[in-house]
A = this chain, B = another copy of it.
Amino acid sequence: MSTGSISSPSTSSSTTRLTSIVSHLSDARPKVVICRHLGPAMPLLQDRKDIEVVLWPEDRSCERSWLLDNIRGAAGVLVLLGDKVNEELLEAAGPNLRVVSTMSVGYEHIDLPLMARRKIRVGYTPDVLTEADLSVMLALMAGRNDGAAYSLVRNGDWAKPKFAWSPFTFCGPQLSATPSSPTRTVGFLGFGRIAQATLARLIPFGITHCLYAGSPSSRPDTARDAALQATHKLKVLERVDADRLARESDVLFVLTPGGTETYHLVDAAFLRKMKPMSVLINTSRGSVVDSDALATALREKWIWGAGLDVVEGEPLITEDHPLVKEPQCVMVPHIGSATFQTRLDMATRAINNLYGGLFGEDMPAELGRQ
C-alpha cells in the first residue's frame, strides 16, 4: 500500500526521455518504509507530498520477507522493537539508506556499530515517563493484594458464602505512612529519569527515606542528591550498595537498563535479604530479575509481593508460568508506555526523527550523537 507512486520513466524520444530522467532524479521523492500503521500519527506521513511512503498493510508485526522486498532503494525506514536492523536488512536496502528510526525506548534490535560504519543515522524515542505512573500503580496493587481481590470480584466469588470477610482479609503493607507507622523507605535499583519521576510521585504518600544503587560505572552525584533530598523534604536520600538496598527497602523499584551488566542482579541471594513485608516492582527489563528466584521468594514468603510489567521470556508467558501462578504477583503485559498520549508522542517523535535523517536536519532524539 503506497500513498504515492514513483513517476513512470518515459519511453518516447531521447530528449523527452532525458527530460524525464532529469525530472525523475530531481523530483525523486525519497522512499520511506513504515513497518507498522501508526494510528492517529499517520497523517504526519500521509500528508507529506515530498516523500514516498510504503506502509506494511496489516495490523500485525511486519513480515521479514515483505520488509526485505520493499526496503530496496529506500532512504529511510521506521521500525519497531521486533524489526531487526542488521547486515541483511542493509544489504537489501542498498546504498540509499541514510536513516533508521525506531518507535521504541530500547534499541537492542539495531546493530549500532554497523550503523556507525555505514554512516546511517539512528533515531529513537527515549522520553517516556509513563513507566513512573505504572510503577506507582503496581506498588499500590502489589501491596493491596490486588490480584486476589480483583479475581474475587471478576469470578463472582464476592457474593458467595465461601468468601468470609474478616478484619484482616486482603490486607497487605500500606504504601502511605501513618501516625502509628510514620516511616517508609523506597529503594531504586537504577536511579535515572524514570526512577526520579517515580520518587516524586510517591512523596505525598509520606515517603521518608530514599535509597538507590547506581551503575558501578557511574559517579556519585552528591550535589544532585542533596538537591533532590531538599526538594522532597526527605530524611534520607542516599546512594548505597545492593546489600543495603535489599535489606532496608519497603518498596523496591527495578529501573535499570537491560543487558549483560544487569542480568539477574535481583537473584535469590538479593531476595533473601529483603524484608518479609516488602514488595518488588520491575517496570524496566525482565532480564534483571531471576523469575525462578522471585517465584520462590513469593511462595516461601521471603517478601510480601511483586508487581511486574516486564518478565524474562515475555511475551511467551503461559498460564502455568511460576509467576503467573503466584497469587501475590501482579503481572501486566509490558504496558509501561501504553497510553494514547505517550504512544502518540512516540510515533510523532519517530516520524520527526525520520524526517531529520532524510533531509539532513537535526533529529529530535538521535543515538550515538552527543
Contacts and interface: CB of A to CB of B under 8 A. Distances in A.
A175 B129 CA distance: 11
B172 A339 contact: yes
A333 B103 CA distance: 39
Given A149-B333, A167-B103, A345-B180, A319 B156 contact: yes
A316 B204 CA distance: 35
Contacts of A347: 167
Interface stretch (A12-20, A135-143, A219-227, A284-292): A135-143
A320 B201 CA distance: 37
Contact of A129 (B176, B330, B343): B176
Interface stretch (A63-71, A158-166, A266-274): A158-166
Given A150-B150, A176-B130, A200-B204, A324 B156 contact: yes
B339 A164 contact: no
Given A137-B144, A149-B333, A166-B36, A171 B204 contact: no
A3 to B, nearest CB: 18
B141 A137 contact: yes
Given A36-B167, A153-B332, A158-B314, A341 B174 contact: yes
A332 B172 contact: no
A319 to B, nearest CB: 3
A155 interface: yes
B339 A156 contact: no
A331 interface: yes
B36 A343 contact: no
Interface in A27-51: 36-40
A150 B335 CA distance: 10
A129 B176 CA distance: 9
Contacts of A39: 166-168
A281 interface: no
A78 to B, nearest CB: 11
Interface in A273-312: 277
Interface string A319-335: 11100100000111101
Contacts of A36: 166-167
A336 to B, nearest CB: 10
Nearest to A177: B341
A359 interface: no
Given A39-B168, A150-B150, A155-B319, 4 more contacts: A144-B335, A167-B346, A200-B204, A203-B204
29 contacts: A36-B167, A39-B166, A40-B168, A133-B140, A133-B176, A136-B136, A137-B144, A137-B146, A140-B140, A141-B141, A144-B335, A144-B338, A144-B339, A145-B338, A150-B331, A154-B319, A154-B331, A158-B314, A158-B317, A159-B315, A159-B316, A163-B315, A169-B338, A173-B340, A173-B341, A174-B339, A178-B342, A181-B341, A201-B204
Those 10 A-B pairs whose CB atoms lie nearest each other, nearest first: A156-B319, A174-B339, A137-B140, A174-B341, A170-B338, A156-B318, A200-B204, A181-B341, A201-B204, A153-B331
